[in-house]
């Protein structure tokens, strides 16, 4: 969930308190806005894998695109640090540099040597479900205010319009 | 109770039948593969509608998969909490899929296909968790079965796959092969001879790890250890399985050796300890699950050492599963509080053991 104040970062603090009119309200704040309100958050990540990722990131120069959100699921590295789980398959591409290093530390390698896989060709009937997926991604992009991506997705959806 | 376990192809318990290799020491072999469908957010981040579409796509693929023709679909998301616990106690669904972990309440679209010794969990941590369960120590057969189902489903629904990283998973600890091969092994000899810490440290040095009876996050009870591969990337499935096989053969030999040492050096002390456990199980009127597990552990060792005759490993395996709280409630047809469950458990264990009437050899 985005911060109620800056609308840019993921919220890390939920604050329930009465406002001036005496009504109890719940607010969601990111680490930065929470600090501006005098609330100190624990910057250490909650998940052990997240902690390792945190270490990896400190040592690596940031690669382009890694500071942002995954264009598919809108997950951020902060989400990963908190849960130890990625949002979707595209996150592997979005955060590739940091992840490759993490995988080497966890597995001793980043190279898959097991079963090879070739995905089946999509059937025409599947186009309908592709369209539904694109609509879903469009909604996510709009929610995350990624309007450039949203425009691209809208074009792709138009191509599939019956 | 809404679930009818008699509808499951094998009652979901063929892995208990003690028919496999080394079944006195190794209860079961399980191999699971984590897979995700291309084009959807992972299950935790997916919206309700996405998870339902995932379920629908998998359902269609399963209906065309020859190995899963006899399988039964259970919509975990519509089961009552006690039924979900029952499936988890039977090792047919994970704690996360069953929504028993407070951090992960049951998700919409959570479901499981159950076939003979085979399960496909849907909308778990990953979209698909394919698993094969076999009695005793049988990694080769378990892998062949799960690999067959994987190929059948993967040729019908596109998996998320990366040329360098392999099969993509929600947690990077599973990426690559997506394979976790685990063997549930009973090691009372190594515990009693205090060799177990050395063996467990050795496992970790060899790239393996261990957990309790219910896998990740569970404690070791009754000296049952679930040993599995730690890493999933950088080695092929065959190499990972070879390594696990090699190490476990050594562990089994060391357990057998520890049992010989126990009998040789402390024969009557051990014999007395194990028969006392048998006495408690045959006569107690109230048994907590942990207490039952500890005594069953001793009786299992006594059967392995041939001190108690006429009691089968199959019966002992069944007792492990059927003396759990949700199973007792299921057989009684009502929910049980702790003290009720302890009384029902004592009666169930007593009847099961006396029905097979061990002799004092």
Sorted by sequence, the CB contacts under 8 Å of residue B76 that are 6+ apart come out as B84, B87, B93, B97, B98, B99, B106, B110, B111, B112
Kindly list the distances between the CA atom of residue B193 and the CA atoms of B196, B258, B260, B324, in Å, as whole numbers in the listed order: 8, 7, 11, 29
pLDDT tens digits, residue range B227-261?
Answer: 999 999 999 999 999 999 999 999 999 999 999 99
Average of pLDDT values for B125-151? 95
pLDDT more than 90, % of chain B? 64
For residues A2 and B67, the model is more confident at B67
Q: Look up the pTM and report it.
A: 0.80
Interface test with B, best of A47, A114, A122 (most B CBs within 10 A): A114
Q: Are B241 and B182 in contact (CB under 8 A)?
A: no
In this complex, the residue of B233, B236, B237 whose CB is nearest that of residue A103 is B233
- B161 in contact with chain A, both atoms CB, cutoff 8 A: yes
Separation CA B234–CA A99 (nearest Å):
15
Q: Given an 8 Å threshold on Cβ–Cβ distance, is A85 in contact with B42? A: yes
Q: Which residues of chain A have pLDDT under 70?
A: 1, 9-10, 17-20, 22, 38-67, 122-128, 161-162
- A128 in contact with chain B, both atoms CB, cutoff 8 A: no
Q: Given an 8 Å threshold on Cβ–Cβ distance, is B41 in contact with A120? A: no
Average of pLDDT values for B199-225? 80
Q: Are B349 and B51 in contact (CB under 8 A)?
A: no
Which positions in chain A touch B177 (Cβ < 8 Å)?
A: 112, 114-115
Confidence check: pLDDT of B139 > 80: yes
Q: Given an 8 Å threshold on Cβ–Cβ distance, is B170 in contact with A85? A: yes
Separation CA B281–CA B287 (nearest Å):
8
Separation CA B228–CA B30 (nearest Å):
9
Which positions in chain B touch A113 (Cβ < 8 Å)?
A: 176, 234-236, 239
Q: Given an 8 Å threshold on Cβ–Cβ distance, is B159 in contact with A133? A: no
Average of pLDDT values for B325-343? 90
Which positions in chain B touch A73 (Cβ < 8 Å)?
A: 41-42, 45
- A61 in contact with chain B, both atoms CB, cutoff 8 A: no
Tell me which H or E stretch contains B33: strand B26-35
pLDDT tens digits, residue range A114-159?
Answer: 999 998 976 655 666 777 788 888 888 888 888 888 888 888 787 7
Confidence check: pLDDT of B10 > 70: no
């Amino acid at each position: 969930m985005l911060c109620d104040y800056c609308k840019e970062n993921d919220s890390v603090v939920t604050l329930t308190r009465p406002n001036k009119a005496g009504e109890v309200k719940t607010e969601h704040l990111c680490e930065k806005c929470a600090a501006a309100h005098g609330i100190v958050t624990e910057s250490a990540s909650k998940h052990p894998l997240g902690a390792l990722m945190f270490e990896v990131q400190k040592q690596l120069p940031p690669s382009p695109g890694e500071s942002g959100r995954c264009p598919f699921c809108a997950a951020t590295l902060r989400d990963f640090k908190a849960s130890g789980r990625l949002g979707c398959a595209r996150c592997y591409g979005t955060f590739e540099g940091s992840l490759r290093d993490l995988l080497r530390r966890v597995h001793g390698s980043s190279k898959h040597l097991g079963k090879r896989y070739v995905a089946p060709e999509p059937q025409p009937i599947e186009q309908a479900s592709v369209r539904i997926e694109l609509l879903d991604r469009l909604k996510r992009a709009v929610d995350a205010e990624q309007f450039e991506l949203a425009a691209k997705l809208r074009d792709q959806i138009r191509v599939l319009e019956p | 109770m809404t679930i009818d376990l008699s509808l499951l192809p094998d009652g979901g318990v063929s892995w208990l039948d003690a028919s496999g290799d080394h079944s006195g020491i190794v209860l079961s072999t399980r191999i699971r593969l984590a897979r995700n469908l291309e084009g959807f957010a992972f299950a935790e981040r997916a919206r309700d509608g996405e998870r339902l579409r995932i379920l629908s796509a998998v359902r269609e693929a399963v209906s065309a998969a020859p190995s899963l023709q006899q399988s039964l679909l259970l919509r975990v998301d519509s089961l009552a909490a006690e039924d979900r616990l029952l499936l988890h106690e039977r090792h047919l669904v994970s704690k996360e899929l069953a929504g028993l972990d407070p951090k992960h309440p049951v998700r919409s679209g959570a479901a499981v296909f159950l076939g003979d010794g085979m399960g496909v969990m849907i909308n778990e941590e990953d979209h698909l968790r394919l698993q094969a369960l076999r009695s005793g120590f049988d990694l080769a057969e378990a892998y062949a079965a799960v690999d067959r189902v994987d190929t059948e489903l993967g040729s019908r629904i596109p998996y998320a796959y990366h040329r360098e990283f392999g099969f993509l998973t929600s947690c990077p600890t599973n990426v690559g092969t997506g394979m976790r091969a685990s063997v549930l092994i009973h090691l009372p000899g190594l515990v009693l001879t205090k060799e177990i810490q050395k063996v467990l440290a050795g496992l970790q040095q060899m790239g393996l790890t261990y957990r309790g009876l219910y896998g990740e996050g569970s404690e070791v009870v009754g000296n049952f250890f679930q040993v599995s591969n730690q890493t999933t990337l950088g080695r092929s499935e065959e190499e990972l399985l070879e390594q696990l096989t090699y190490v476990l053969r050594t562990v089994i030999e060391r357990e057998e050796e520890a049992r010989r040492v126990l009998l040789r050096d402390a024969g009557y002390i051990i014999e007395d300890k194990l028969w006392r456990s048998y006495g408690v199980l045959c006569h107690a009127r109230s048994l907590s699950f942990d207490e039952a597990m500890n005594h069953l552990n001793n009786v299992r060792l006594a059967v392995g050492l041939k001190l108690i005759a006429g009691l089968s490993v199959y019966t002992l395996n069944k007792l492990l599963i059927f003396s759990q709280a949700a199973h007792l409630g299921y057989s009684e047809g009502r929910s049980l509080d702790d003290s009720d469950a302890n009384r029902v458990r004592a009666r169930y264990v007593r009847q099961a053991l006396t029905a097979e009437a061990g002799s004092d050899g």
